[in-house]
Amino acid sequence: MAPRNPTVTGAAGAAELAEPAARVRGLEKSFGDDPVLRGLDLDLAPGEFTALLGRSGSGKSTLLRVLAGLDGEHGGEAVIDGTVAVAFQEPRLLPWKKVWANVVLGSGSTEPRKDAEAALAEVGLEARADAWPLTLSGGEAQRASLARALFREPRLLLLDEPFGALDALTRASVHDLVLDLWRRHRPAILLVTHDVDEALLLADRALVLTDGRISHDLPIDLERPRRRADPRSAGLRAELLGALGVTPEPAEGTEPTR
């Protein structure tokens, strides 16, 4: 699993960088008489880390399923330029196959064991190649899921709340791993999350999905590495919470808004 070279030069490189990794126009999706996505437009730039937030039932996972090619019954257009991979909240490892075999499942690799070991080394799981999935911890299973997704060198990596079931310490460790893998491989990432602080910690850009459309698009121009306690993120956090219809808690020593 060789890292991508994020630097592309010349006219061909400029054209490649200008072409979105994903382009969505007028996306419509309903379940029965209940519309979920209503003419949604979205571009995801190559190598960009984007977080997608929204209230429960706003259509976040539905959008991911469309982008992943798992739901072809929709209106409008969703075009992906290159390979797509998905990591879900549940790692979805096949329990009857060892960890290394899960990583290369369906890849057509000519040296599957060697390639799987290289991928697992990137996520710190080389010693668990011969383990059965049910013996892995939650963090290890999610690392194996990420290795499987990135093994395919996707241009677009979709993450559907992959940290939600992890404890706080494991979540912080996997956050660092995802950022490290993203820097090395440079896919465009779309992360679905309910956690505003997680979006501010990881993403270049945060989107809010409301009533089936992107209602807010916020650039997150903070240097990395980032800290949750960084005072510069306070205004961004308040803006995102407001876009989600949540009144931010007042800072300590101030009077609450009435």
Q: One-letter amino acid identity for 117? A: E
- 232: which residues sit within 8 A by CB, 6+ positions away? 222
Is 224 among the domain residues? Answer: yes
Is 111 among the domain residues? Answer: no
Is 136 among the domain residues? Answer: no
Residue 32: HSE in the Cβ half-sphere, 13 Å Cα cutoff: 1
Is 100 among the domain residues? Answer: no
Contact in structure between 143 and 123 (CB atoms under 8 Å): yes
Q: What is the pTM of this model?
A: 0.86
Is 191 among the domain residues? Answer: yes
Describe the strand order of the beta sheet including 156-160 as a list of residue ranges: 84-88, 156-160, 188-192, 49-53, 205-210, 213-219
CA neighbor of 73 nearest in space, from 65, 85, 83: 65
| β-pairing verdict for 188-192 and 49-53 | parallel
Q: Which CATH number fits the domain that encloses residue 72?
A: 3.40.50.300
Q: What pLDDT was estimated at residue 129?
A: 96
CA neighbor of 162 nearest in space, from 183, 145, 182: 145
Is 102 among the domain residues? Answer: no
The residue segments making up the domain with residue 185 are 21-92+154-242
How many structural domains are present in the chain? 1
Is 219 among the domain residues? Answer: yes
Q: 10 pLDDT exceeds 80?
A: no
Is 204 among the domain residues? Answer: yes
Q: What is the pLDDT of residues 87-114, one digit of tens each?
A: 988 899 999 999 999 999 988 888 999 9
